[in-house]
Structure 1
Amino acid sequence: MHILAATDFSTRSQRALRRAGLLARDSGADLTLVHVVDDDQPSDLVALESREAGRILGEQTGAIPELCGLRSRALVVEGDPFDGIVRAAASTGADLVVMGAHRKQLLRDILIGTTIERVIRTGPFPVLMVNREVDRPYRTAMAAIALSEPSVNAIRTSRVLGLLGGARLALVHAFQPLAKGQMFYAGLSQDTIDGHVADERLRATKELTAFLEVNGLDDRGQSMHIEEGAPFEVISKAVEQLNPDILIIGTHGRSGIAKALLGSVTEEVLRSLDVDILAVPPLR
Structure 2
Amino acid sequence: MRRAGLLARDIGAELTLLHVVDDDQPTDLVALETREAERILGEQIGAVAELRGLPSRALVIAGDPFDGILRAAASTEAGLIVMGAHRKQLLRDVFVGTTIERVIRAGPFPVLMLNGEVEQPYRTALAAIDLSEPSVLAMRTGIALGLPAGARLGLVHAFLPLAKGQMFYAGLSQDTINGYVADERIRATNELIAFLEANGLDDNGQPMCVVEEGTAFEVISKAVAQVEPDVLVMGTHGRSVLARMQLGSVTEEVLRSLDILAVPPVR
Please classify the TM superposition score into its range, dividing by the shorter chain length.
over 0.9
Measured after TM superposition, the shift of residue 108 of structure 1 is 3.4
Question: Aligned partners of 2:184, 2:206: CA distance in 1, in Å?
Answer: 25
- What is the count of residue pairs matched by the alignment? 262
Matched, 1:213 2:197: yes
Distance 2:180 2:206 in 1: 30
> Is the Cα–Cα contact under 8 Å of residues 151 and 205 in structure 2 kept in the other structure?
no
Post-superposition offset of 1:222: 1.3
Deviations 1:79-102 (A, max 9, x none): 111110000101111011100013
Structure-1 residue corresponding to 2:220: 235
String of CA shifts for 1:167-215, please: whole Å, max 9, x gaps: 7000100000111112112222111111111111111111111111111
What secondary structure does 1:211 align onto?
helix
Q: Does 1:201 align with 2:182?
A: no
SS of match in other structure, 1:170:
strand
Which position in structure 2 is the counterpart of 1:44?
28
Is 1:279 the counterpart of 2:262? The answer is: yes
Partner deviation per Cα, 1:228-281 (whole Å, 9 max, x = no partner): 000011011111111001100012289xxx9xxx95423433344411100111
- Aligned-residue offset at 1:57: 0.5
Q: Where does residue 246 of structure 1 map in the other structure? A: 231
Equivalent residues in 2 for 1:107-186, closer than 5 Å = 107-164=91-148, 168-186=152-170
In structure 2, stretches of 5+ residues that fail to align are none
> Moved runs in structure 1, 4+ residues, more than 2 A?
104-111, 163-167, 266-273
Aligned partners of 1:270 and 1:277 also within 8 Å: no
Bigger Cα displacement from structure 2, 81-90 vs 263-272: 263-272
Distance between the aligned counterparts of 2:170 and 2:89, measured in 1? 44
Contact 2:37 2:60 in 1 (8 A): yes
The 5-angstrom pairing of residues 82-101 of structure 1 reads 82-101=66-85
Superposed displacement of residue 107, structure 1: 4.0
Q: How far did 1:163 drift?
A: 2.4
> For residue 4 of structure 1, what is the aligned residue in structure 2?
none
Give the fraction of aligned pairs with identical amino acids, expressed as a percent: 71
Q: Which residue of 2 aligns with 1:266?
A: 248
Q: Is the 8 A contact 1:89 1:97 kept in 2?
A: yes
Indicate if the aligned counterparts of 1:130 and 1:275 stay in contact, CA closer than 8 A. yes
In structure 2, relative to structure 1, the CA distance for the partners of 1:253 and 1:171 (3 Å cut) is closer
Is contact 2:135-2:235 (8 Å) kept?
yes
For the residues of structure 1 that align with 2:77 and 2:238, how far apart are their CA atoms?
21
Other-structure match for 2:45: 61
Q: How far is 1:221 from its partner?
A: 4.8
Q: Aligned-pair RMSD on alpha carbons? A: 1.9
Check 1:109–1:187 CA distance in 2 against 1; reply closer, same or farther (3 A cut): farther
Kindly state the Cα deviation for residue 113 of structure 1 after the two structures are TM-superposed. 1.4
Secondary structure, counterpart of 1:171 in structure 2: strand
